[in-house]
Structure 1
Amino acid sequence: MKLAQVALGVQDLGRATAFYTELLGHPPAGTFDPPGLVFFDLEGVRLLLEVGAPAALLYLQVDSVRTQIEELRRRGTPVIAEPHVIFRHADDSLGPAETDEWLAFVRDSEGNLLGFASHEPSE
């Protein structure tokens, strides 16, 4: 089984599209308005922005949580939880062995909580 799509509820489709276009570094793969659907391709998994969809908590894998959060902070994105290590990977069952799992959280343009994760060498 493969994850195909995640829907994210938004209030303002244009504002959310601009936020995610800048965050992801590429434009939507498809926009259908009406009925008010915007799709982004995340390496084969579709991110759907839709007015009225339920809330979702997305975790995006990045090279470095610390670098990503500093870039978002410069853009004025509200940081909810600063970068921090949540555990160390002893084996490769959930990530590369002998790395730390970093997390941080921000609010997107619509107030949704958005998590960032990275696997970085243990310090």
Structure 2
Amino acid sequence: MNIKIELFENDRAIEVYVHGEIDAYTAPELREILFPLSKKDEVQMVVDLTDVDYMDSTGLGVFVGIFKNIRAKSGELRLVGLSNRLKRLFEITGLADIMDINSPIEGEVE
């Protein structure tokens, strides 16, 4: 189980591209990279999950923590490119109601 994380940072705008699976084995790497960034003031973080094949509750926990950090510092978190399976995971847990998971990637038509 592998994960690849690409990060592009410009002042408060952060783009993250995640490839692979987010589970108990790979979530700590994701957390290690994104948590410090999520504590910046007014950060605008977009996480593209187009190439994520699988995510378990450990991955959800990472995103909840990141979301809380960002909100506490008046920032925004957008999760984009979710497969139907990932969207369903966020809907079942109720996270879809509080997190921005449905915004299209810029230039993408809904």
TM-score using structure 2 length:
0.31
Higher strand fraction (1 or 2):
1
Higher helix fraction (1 or 2):
2
Query: If you compute each CA radius of gyration, which structure gives the higher value, 1 or 2?
Result: 1
TM-score using structure 1 length:
0.29
